[in-house]
Amino acid sequence: MDENLKVAKAAAAKNFERAQQQLADDEKRLADARRDVEKKRLVVRKADPDHSSFEKSAAEAAVAEKRLEAFEQRVVDAHARVELAIAESREASIAANLAEIEALGRDIVDTDAALLRLVLETERDGRAALRKIYALIEKVDALEQHVAIMRGEDINKSWSTRWPALTRSYFAGLVRPTDERVLQHLEYAATSENHAWNRGKEKLRADVLATVRKAS
């Protein structure tokens, strides 16, 4: 959230608290003024109009009435200030939330872009790695055939000596560099314990998995 919006939101909330407190104080004073008016009205009603103290009691009652009117107006004004503070606080909160929504939206776009780049680069690098794996297998096969021929062995006598020997690799044979959904196949091979067992690569997978988990 923008720092200015934070300050505005906090200021609006503080202003609302002050307005509420002022309203509570004014309502208490108003209640005191009402009680005072009732007392002075009672004094005037019981007073003897012919007595010298009557005018004083009546004047005090009139002042109390005016004071009551003033506090009533003050409470009305305090209510208005509270409503205004509520509106300002609401607007500040809305502005802050909208700004945060915009910032989070940018974060989503940035994260999407990073993930998309990661996937696309992984696909590109995966295809390149598969091409290298198949090329290396061809070289090993050629050397192995050469050794077998030099020994006078029949390289076609059984399936165990047929080439290409794709089981040399964890991935070869399951997926090729030209496959459309290369990442889907790579993911299956990487996460499948059965595939690792079928290739005799349980330790390889376990070691790599341990490294990945340690890094995370």
Answer with the residue of higher pLDDT: 175 or 48.
Answer: 175
Question: Per-residue pLDDT tens for 53-112?
Answer: 888 888 888 888 888 888 899 888 888 888 888 888 888 888 888 888 998 999 999 999
Q: What is the structure's pLDDT at 207? A: 93
Percent above pLDDT 90 for the chain: 37
Per the CB < 8 A criterion, the answer to whether 167 and 202 are in contact is no
Please give the full DSSP string across 132-155, using - where no structure is assigned: HHHHHHHHHHHHHHHHHHHTT--T
Closest C-alpha to 19, from 99, 109, 66, 81: 81
Whether domain 3-115 has CATH 1.10.287: yes
Assign 2 to helix, strand or coil.
coil
Question: What tens digit of pLDDT does each residue of 163-208 get?
Answer: 678 888 999 988 899 998 999 999 999 999 999 999 999 999 999 9
CATH 1.10.287 maps onto the chain at 3-115
pLDDT of residue 161: 55
| pLDDT over 80 (residue 26) | yes
Among 88, 67, 70, 73, which Cα is nearest to 18's?
88
